[in-house]
Structure formats: structure tokens, C-alpha cells
């Protein structure tokens, strides 16, 4: 399945309605498609294009810019090891080398059983808890070789800590609930004028506040 399911399409339309211009929803909808399929398929991008009102090529143009969108199948788990400065100087690069050894793939590769894709990533904002890594963008901090080995074993066997990590592509497990009825003031920019409350204050100001 690569187009959005009816439920996801409904959610996608609710997301599109939050933006003054539909194309702004491109990245959130690509995430939704990737969450559904585990990676971002051509059919998924074509469906996103329909929903935001642009061409599939434009969606590809956007998606291909961003690290997180996988335009080919990846493992159930993306194991992202940070090798940027704060992690590297306390062993991040050694962890990456060990993971490559254990998994039998270089960074960027996926294990033959399709379970784990290994990535060599830049700073993931866990610098004080270095060396750090993410599994499907969930943090594992202050990792040593034994912890890495145990984590890899768990991910491979689907036991232990594997349960903590939702499948690749899953974003926030809590979504913003914001339906069309909840919106106060969303319309195309050209239909917008000074907000009423702002105008009221500006008029009240004795110096005829210019509103800046």
C-alpha cells in the first residue's frame, strides 16, 4: 500500500487545512506517508502532491532535500550513531566502528535480514549525555560497547528494548488535535487584514499607533 489509507487521507486533509497555503503541508504529509509505509514511496509522494496541489516532482524535490525521508526501503530500525564533536571525543566514532563490525554493514547500509539500517549521523542534541544514539529517532544515551552490543541483540531478536522503539517512520505518538472548526483565523494571505483585536488597540492609542 502506498497511497494514504482513507483514515490517513482524512488526517492529511485536516493537516492541510491548518495552513494558509496547502503546499506548506508537504513535509508533514510526507512524514505521514513514511509513517504508514516505513519509507517514502513514489505513489505516496504522488498522493501527497494531489493533497497539497503541486506536482509529484515538486514533492520529490522537497523530500530529497531532507535526511529523514527515505526514498528506498530501510530496516525496521534505523540505528543512528552520532559521530559529531561532543560524541566523537568521548567514543562516538568507536561505537560506529563496533556497530559496523557487529552488523556487517558500513554506515548507510541495511542488514541482510532487513532489520537494521545503520547511519552515521551528525549532532542529535544529546551532547551532555554523550556518546548518544537514536533508534528510529528515540534516544539512547551514555552508550558504551556493552550497551551497544545488548541493544543490537535486542533489535535483531525483537526482544527486550526493541519494544521501546516504534517502527521506522513513526513520528510523535501524540498528535495535535486541531480540526477545521477549531481554527480562529486561517485563510489565504491575500484574504487577511489587520486582526480585529490589534486594530482596536491601534485605534484607541491616542498617537494613532501605526501598528508596528
| Site for another protein, residues 65 to 104, rule: CB under 8 A | 65-69, 83-86, 88-90
With CB under 8 A as the contact rule, the residue among 107, 134, 152, 168 that binds another protein is 134
Q: With contacts defined by CB under 8 A, name the span among 3-11, 98-106, 109-117, 183-191 that binds another protein.
A: 183-191
The three-state secondary structure class of 129 is: helix
Q: Where are the alpha helices (DSSP H) in 26-163?
A: 26-37, 42-52, 56-63, 85-88, 92-103, 145-157
| Contact set for another protein, span 31-50 (CB under 8 A) | 31
Exactly one of 9, 50, 94, 129 binds another protein (CB under 8 A); that residue is 129
Residue 122 lies near another protein (rule: CB under 8 A) = yes
Asked if 151 contacts 161 with a C-beta cutoff of 8 angstroms, the reply is yes
Cis peptide before 131 (omega within 30 of 0): yes
Q: Where are the beta strands (DSSP E) in the chain?
A: 77-82, 116-121, 133-135, 138-140
Residue 57, interface with another protein (CB under 8 A)? no
Shortest distance (Å) from residue 133 CB to another protein: 9
Least gap, CB of 112 to another protein (angstroms): 26
User: 63: how many CB neighbours lie within 10 A of its CB?
Assistant: 22
Q: How many residues bind another protein (CB under 8 A)?
A: 82
Shortest Cβ distance from residue 150 to another protein (Å)?
Answer: 7
Residue 204's Cβ-count burial label (10 Å; 0-12, 13-18, 19+) is exposed
55 binds another protein (CB under 8 A): no
Q: How far is the CB of 75 from another protein (least distance, A)?
A: 17
- Contact window for another protein (CB under 8 A) among 1-9, 100-108, 110-118, 135-143: 135-143
Chain mean position to CA 79: 15
Counting Cα atoms < 13 Å in the Cβ hemisphere of 194 gives 11
For another protein, the binding residues in 184-203 under the rule CB under 8 A are 184-186, 189, 192-198, 200-201
Q: Which of 143, 152, 155, 168 binds another protein (CB under 8 A)?
A: 143
Cell matching residue 126: 544529546
Closest by Cα among 139, 103, 107 to 123: 139
* Region of 3-11, 21-29, 97-105, 107-115 interacting with another protein (CB under 8 A): 21-29
Amino acid at each position: 500500500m502506498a497511497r494514504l489509507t482513507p483514515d490517513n487521507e482524512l488526517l492529511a486533509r485536516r493537516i492541510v487545512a491548518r495552513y494558509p497555503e496547502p503546499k506548506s503541508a508537504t513535509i508533514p504529509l510526507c512524514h505521514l506517508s513514511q509513517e504508514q509505509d516505513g519509507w517514502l514511496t513514489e505513489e505516496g509522494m504522488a498522493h501527497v502532491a494531489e493533497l497539497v496541489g503541486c506536482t509529484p516532482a515538486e514533492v520529490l524535490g522537497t523530500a530529497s532535500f531532507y535526511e529523514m525521508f527515505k526514498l528506498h526501503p530501510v530496516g525496521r530500525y534505523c540505528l543512528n550513531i552520532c559521530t559529531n564533536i561532543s560524541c566523537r571525543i568521548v567514543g562516538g566514532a568507536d561505537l560506529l566502528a563496533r556497530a559496523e563490525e557487529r552488523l556487517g554493514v558500513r554506515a548507510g547500509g541495511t542488514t541482510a535480514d532487513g532489520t537494521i539500517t545503520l547511519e552515521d549521523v551528525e549532532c542529535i542534541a544529546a551532547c551532555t549525555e554523550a556518546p548518544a544514539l537514536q533508534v528510529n529517532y528515540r534516544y539512547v544515551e551514555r552508550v558504551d560497547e556493552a550497551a551497544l552490543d545488548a541493544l543490537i541483540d535486542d533489535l535483531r531478536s525483537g526482544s527486550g528494548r526493541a519494544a521501546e522503539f516504534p517502527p521506522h517512520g513513526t513520528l510523535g505518538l501524540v498528535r495535535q488535535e486541531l480540526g477545521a472548526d477549531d481554527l480562529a483565523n486561517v485563510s489565504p494571505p491575500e484574504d487577511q487584514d489587520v486582526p480585529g483585536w490589534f486594530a482596536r488597540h491601534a485605534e484607541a492609542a491616542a498617537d494613532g499607533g501605526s501598528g508596528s
